[in-house]
């Protein structure tokens, strides 16, 4: 289990973790630990944000925290978002969509998708009350990485790729465990507003996965990355609406 967790940490982040001699089964099982990696990343971002407040005004510190969130993943998920936008929205042909998603070049739809997501995240981040932002900074990465586990429950559009490997070794209980962990972190960090944000996040993810199913009849690694970004963005936006609308039940302890 520990080796699979370290494999998930190595796969999803730039944290210097080295796990040698991983079997295909150990790596495939690492998907179960994606939400746990989200907890680690979220806690690190909260710590980074607090340190940033010592040197920068609050708005700048919040944007820096979002930038650090991108950096800790090596922009891996943003790359998947761009490729998915080019493939899922640039053509109606399945094979052409898969080809575009594999192309290392980023098309106009991909650029627009990255800009929109980053702008929406930044707008929500600088607008949220302090308690809500700190709680959201912890829970948002968990929602993003937990949503990837749900995406991996769909068939792989490329059975020979990474999603195919995960599909061969995942456990049926993985999505349920991910939902429980996401819900628990959201509730502890943000109260009822956190659960509302998670529900909105998963709704947005469901819409993206429906699009992926219709276009390419499954998911790819790029789609999973896009799912993570869409989940995080929707989480912050719905959290902003829920918190300012008075839906929170208790201040976040972060």
CA angle 132, 136, 138 (to 5 degrees): 130
Give the model's pLDDT for residue 167. 82
**Any domain includes 39:** yes
Report which of 242, 234, 214, 251 is spatially closest to residue 87, judged by C-alpha positions: 214
Residues 6+ apart with CB under 8 A from 239: 124, 128, 132, 136, 190, 193, 194, 196, 197
**Any domain includes 195:** yes
**Any domain includes 187:** yes
The two structure tokens encoding residue 142: 């968990």
Contact by Cβ (8 Å): 32, 9: no
**Any domain includes 6:** no
**Any domain includes 79:** yes
Give the model's pLDDT for residue 246. 60
**Any domain includes 238:** yes
Secondary structure (H, E, C), the chain? CHHHHHHHHHHHCCCCCCCCCCCHHHHHHHHHHHHHHHHHHHHHHHHHHHHHCCCCCHHHHHHHHHHHHHHHCCCHHHHHHHHHHHHHHHCCCHHHHHHHHHCCCCCHHHHHHHHHHHHHHHHHHHHCCHHHHHHHHHHHHHHHHHHHHHHCCCCECCCCCHHHHHHHHCCCCHHHHHHHHHHHHHHHHHCHHHHHHHHHHHHHHHHHHHHHHHHHCCECHHHHHHHHHHHHHHHHHHHHHHHHCCCCCCCCCC
Q: How many domains does the chain have?
A: 1
Contact by Cβ (8 Å): 191, 248: yes
Q: Which domain holds residue 175?
A: 27-244
**Any domain includes 18:** no
pLDDT in tens, the chain (254 residues): 788 888 889 889 988 887 777 788 888 888 999 999 999 999 999 999 999 999 999 999 999 999 999 999 888 899 999 999 999 987 788 988 889 888 888 888 999 999 999 999 999 999 999 999 999 999 999 999 999 999 999 998 887 778 888 888 888 889 999 999 999 999 999 999 999 999 999 999 999 999 999 999 999 999 999 999 999 999 999 999 988 776 555 555 55
Where b means 16+ CB within 10 Å and e means fewer, 147-156 reads bbbbbbbbeb
Give the model's pLDDT for residue 247. 52
Query: Helix axis angle, 221-244 relative to 192-216, nearest 10°?
Result: 150
**Any domain includes 2:** no
């Amino acid at each position: 289990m520990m080796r699979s967790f370290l494999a998930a940490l190595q796969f999803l982040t730039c944290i210097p973790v080295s796990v040698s001699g991983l079997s295909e089964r150990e790596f495939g099982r690492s998907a179960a630990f994606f939400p746990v990696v989200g907890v680690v990343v979220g806690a690190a971002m909260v710590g980074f944000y607090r340190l940033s407040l010592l040197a920068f005004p609050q708005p700048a510190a919040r944007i820096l925290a979002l930038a650090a969130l991108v950096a800790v993943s090596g922009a891996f998920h943003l790359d998947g978002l761009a490729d998915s936008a080019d493939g899922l929205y640039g053509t109606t042909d399945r094979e052409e969509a898969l080809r575009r998603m594999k192309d290392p070049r980023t098309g106009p739809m991909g650029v627009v998708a990255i800009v929109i997501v980053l702008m929406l995240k930044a707008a929500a981040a600088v607008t949220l009350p302090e308690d809500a932002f700190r709680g959201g900074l912890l829970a948002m990465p968990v929602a993003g990485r937990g949503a990837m586990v749900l995406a991996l429950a769909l068939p792989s559009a490329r059975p020979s790729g990474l999603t195919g490997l995960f599909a061969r070794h995942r456990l049926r209980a993985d999505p349920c465990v991910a939902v429980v962990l996401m819900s628990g972190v959201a509730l502890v960090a943000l109260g009822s507003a956190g659960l509302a944000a998670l529900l909105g996040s998963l709704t947005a993810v469901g819409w993206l996965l429906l699009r992926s199913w219709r276009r390419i009849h499954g998911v790819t690694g790029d789609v999973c990355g896009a799912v993570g970004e869409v989940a995080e963005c929707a989480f912050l936006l719905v959290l902003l609406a829920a918190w300012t609308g008075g839906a929170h039940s208790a201040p976040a302890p972060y």
